[in-house]
Amino acid sequence: MYIVSIDDDQCSGCDSCADGCPARILSFDRSRGKAYVSGDEAECMGCEACVAVCPGGAIIITEM
Ligand code: SF4
Ligand code: SF4
């Protein structure tokens, strides 16, 4: 099981992470210009595809 954390302060709003999540648990809030966890974190498979595409290091995946 993984915990998915997105640091708003580090998110530059590039919208690169949500579409690439194979578990479809990330979304992008256009009104705020920030990515957020919209789905069930229990579905996260820890692939870190989101981490790889994030230019700001805003996403942290922690294995529990
Ligand atoms: S680690 Fe993989 S499955 Fe988990 S939120 Fe990131 S892209 Fe999605
Ligand atoms: S890839 Fe990083 S900077 Fe871009 S929207 Fe996602 S969290 Fe924000």
Which residue ranges form the domains of the chain, and what is each CATH number?
2-63 (3.30.70.20)
Q: Which ligand 1 atom lies nearest to the CA of residue 23?
A: 3
Eight-class DSSP state of 30: T
The torsion defined by the Cα of 47, 62, 16 and 32, in degrees rounded to 10, comes to 150
The amino acid present at 44, given as its one-letter code, is C
Q: Atom 4 (ligand 1): residue with closest C-alpha?
A: 44
Q: What is the pLDDT of residue 28?
A: 98
**Amino acid 58: pLDDT:** 98
pLDDT in tens, 34-61: 999 999 999 999 999 999 999 999 999 9
* Residue 51 alpha carbon, nearest atom of ligand 1: 6
Task: Give distance in angstroms: CA of 51 to centre of ligand 2.
Answer: 9
SS3 59: strand
* CA nearest to 53, candidates 14, 10, 24: 14
What does the pLDDT average to over 23-29? 98
